[in-house]
Amino acid sequence: MSDIDLDALRSELDDFAKPEKKSGRSPREERIIAGFEEIQRFVEQNGHAPQHGEDRDIFERLYAVRLDRLRGLEECRELLAPLDHQGLLEDVGSHIADQSDIDDDELLAELTDGKETADITKLRHVRTTAEKRAAEEIANREQCKDFERFKPVFDAVQSDLDSGVRITQPIRKDAGFLKTDIKAGQFFIVGGQIAYVAKVGSPIKAPNGQNDARLRVIYSNGTESSLLLRSMQRALYKDEISRAVSEPKAGPLFSAENEDGDHASGTIYVLRSQSDDPVIASKCDLLHKIGVTGGDVAKRVANAKLDPTFLMADVEIVATYKLFNINRTRLEKLIHRVFGPARLDVTIKDRFGNPIVPREWFLVPVFIVDEVVERIKDGSITDYIYDPKTASLVKHE
């Protein structure tokens, strides 16, 4: 041991004895991670990254700005990369670099134009119970696992809105609306989505003594939420552009007042093609063009063989139905919605070789058209849609 260099040994031992570098994070880093985790929770609950836009709720808009800021700062991306299992930091092309030093309160003030007071909606890592509840009322949604059941319902409602069979009405922003119970089967527009009240649970008593109930609400973006009736009412009340979707009514189809370009009477016509095209000829017994006109049907079809709307062939007038005091445009859209599932999918070339897709040809028997006309007259047609499998009218779910 006499030959051992004690100074060299001490140096080697010192290398092993060096204190470990502190792994603790700074308060700034902790705040960055906490803010990013809030964004991740939003994505888990909503199925998409937060987005900008005045139609988005205040929390989503704040998260969107915050995410832009994190994407734009290299130090933030390096810190958060190991935590980014959702790939939120990949899009770095739309960051807002000049907001790197803005805190959440400043962001919130900017988003609300200073209209919100800080003590109501401060968005720090630790929120008050009231703030959490307000956020959860809007953001606490999950994917609707049986959305395929409801998608046809949303498609039908959207078609009704497009045709004018349904309309949207502003939510009454007064206490009277909040006293009105929401019922199963109703549709609303809230947060930019159509919301369908699929179920209203048994009545329960809220802590304030009011009646309440648990709802199952399905949204047109494929999500759903289980929230209290009063929470739904508050969400509708707070959304400045929320709307109630009306029930389908036939009334607007029959009016004593004329609209621009409309007449006091019209004719529903049913035509059969005399085309020698093999595909069309093989379906001639069921294939009919159904429309509405304010003029003479014979004149309307005089030049059918030159018109791709008529499949570039002469047609036979199978049936006509005269109606009075109707809105022809709305009536035709309604008829086409009813027969939509049986619409012919075909492309026809016009005289110049341009492809045209006719939209008024349907594979339906004439007796069904008779039934549709009768239901138009008694106002019940808005409850039905044609089912090609059973060749009959069936009620909407």
Mean pLDDT per 10-residue interval, the chain, length 397 residues? 54 50 71 87 84 77 86 86 86 46 48 39 41 48 89 86 76 54 86 89 77 89 88 82 75 47 69 90 89 88 89 91 77 88 87 85 91 83 89 84
Examine residue 3 and state whether it is found in any structural domain, yes or no: no
Rounded to an integer, what is the distance from CA 245 to the centroid of its chain? 13
Contacts of 42 (CB under 8 A, 6+ apart): 50, 59, 60, 63, 139
Same domain, 121 and 149: no
Q: At which of 185, 214, 248 does a domain end?
A: 248
Q: At which of 97, 121, 139 does a domain end?
A: 139
Same domain, 258 and 153: no
What are the b/e assignments for 79-103, b being 16+ CB within 10 Å? bbeeeeeeebbeeeeebbeeeeebe
Which residues span the domain enclosing 38? 27-139
pLDDT of residue 314: 92
Token couple for 25:
């994070």
Q: Is the dihedral of CA 157, 160, 164, 165 positive or negative?
A: negative
Same domain, 262 and 378: yes
pLDDT of residue 218: 93
Q: Look-up: residue for tokens 């017994």?
A: 285
Name the domain count of the chain: 3
Q: At which of 248, 276, 295 does a domain end?
A: 248
Listing from the earlier edge strand, what are the strands of the sheet with 287-293? 315-324, 265-273, 287-293, 361-363
pLDDT of residue 142: 86
**Residue type at 137?**
E
pLDDT of residue 125: 42
**What gap in Å lies between CA 131 and CA 119, rounded to an integer?**
10
Examine residue 1 and state whether it is found in any structural domain, yes or no: no
Please report, for residues 157, 164, 293, 354, the alpha-carbon distance to residue 247 in angstroms, rounded to integers and kept in the order given.
9, 11, 27, 40
pLDDT of residue 68: 87
pLDDT of residue 387: 92
Examine residue 8 and state whether it is found in any structural domain, yes or no: no
Examine residue 380 and state whether it is found in any structural domain, yes or no: yes
Examine residue 204 and state whether it is found in any structural domain, yes or no: yes
**What gap in Å lies between CA 161 and CA 158, rounded to an integer?**
5
Model pTM score: 0.40
